[in-house]
Chains A and B, each alone.
Chain A
């Protein structure tokens, strides 16, 4: 097992995240491991371990968290967060870490492709004439192909 080098600890990172709205309070974690015990992704891939992510965060191992692939395996199912006896918002925290990793250009191709589609179209799937014909055939109302205003909003925002 790799030794943790605490000289790499980024204490500003810990402070900043632990006092942030919606995700603060993770230093209450007492390493019981309930999060990992219930995690369906952990059963499929033992490298994924929510307890480890929270401990890395508590130790301020910013680079290691944000440059690795592991946070991207979280399925956002909220099992760990609902089970945590200390109320650590594990899933919300990991989601925020994904955002920080994205800013460092660490984002899986599938996720960035989806983001681009969304920002170009305002929805994931364009509803074209063919779709609307299929919809009309079974009596469903037609829908516009894209949502222009959503595109505008995301470009400005």
Chain B
């Protein structure tokens, strides 16, 4: 199974642990990633100030994947949402499509609408399948207690996702975790945002939103958090120490990417999964699993 791998801006620069672990588990699942060097930013950061520019960037990326005849696999939820939304609008609005194609013609490109955009986790569930994933399980995770943070753009806006999962009662990430031997932990405000997108306009609000969620995860009693987006990871992992200092609280919650948890179950080493690159130490967690 072949996909063009869409890394976006944040992952290759700041979240090599996500990229490493995603590539590692993909190699075990006969999931082949084709790297397209010409991919730019997905367009998401432009959406608030230049929505046409955002769609234009998104459309160019879609064209690059179309030229290779490959569906896109995106690791970041914001990239997934921006590229999916771009395709949705271009497929449903002829005027917009003509307008965008006129701009794209200046660089010799045309959007045709021949490919799909998928989040990595969705591909694992829908295209690889839980049966196939279970066959690769080599390490008993001993019922590791995990609190999943779905984040927003993995599921929403739901009108672009053709009925994938349910934004009110999401289950897809927990189905995958269950298949690899994890105990899914429920907690208050599970569906809430990480606060990340407000970071640029009001840091205090962004950190308050993230703090609230960390508090409820802590209350529920978990070994770690699970997520699928580098922005969410920035808020809960990289900013966790700062949030603790600012709010006088103590969390010490390891925050892992879904691919790192699956990777542990597949028997990969800490280094192969970039677990040494997580901000909140994951050593105690892996020692408990004897990894």
Contacts and interface: CB of A to CB of B under 8 A. Distances in A.
A binds B: yes
Interface of A: 21-22, 40-41, 43-45, 48, 69, 72-79, 81-82, 89, 91-92, 95-96, 98-99, 102, 107-108, 110-112, 114-115, 118-119, 122-125, 127, 131, 134-135, 138-141, 143-144, 147, 149-150, 152-154, 156-157
Nearest to A76: B197
5 contacts: A44-B209, A75-B196, A75-B209, A78-B157, A150-B57
Contacts of B158: 82
Contacts of A157: 52-53, 56, 103
Contacts, number: 180
Given A78-B152, A122-B40, A125-B14, A111 B157 contact: no
B50 A115 contact: yes
A75 B167 contact: no
Interface residues of B, number: 64
B201 A76 contact: no
Interface in B177-228: 189, 191-193, 195-202, 204-206, 208-209, 212
Interface of B: 7-10, 12-14, 16, 19-20, 23, 35, 37-41, 45-53, 56-57, 60, 89, 93, 95-96, 103-104, 106-107, 152-153, 156-158, 167-168, 189, 191-193, 195-202, 204-206, 208-209, 212, 271, 274
Given A124-B9, A125-B10, A21 B93 contact: yes
Nearest to B207: A44
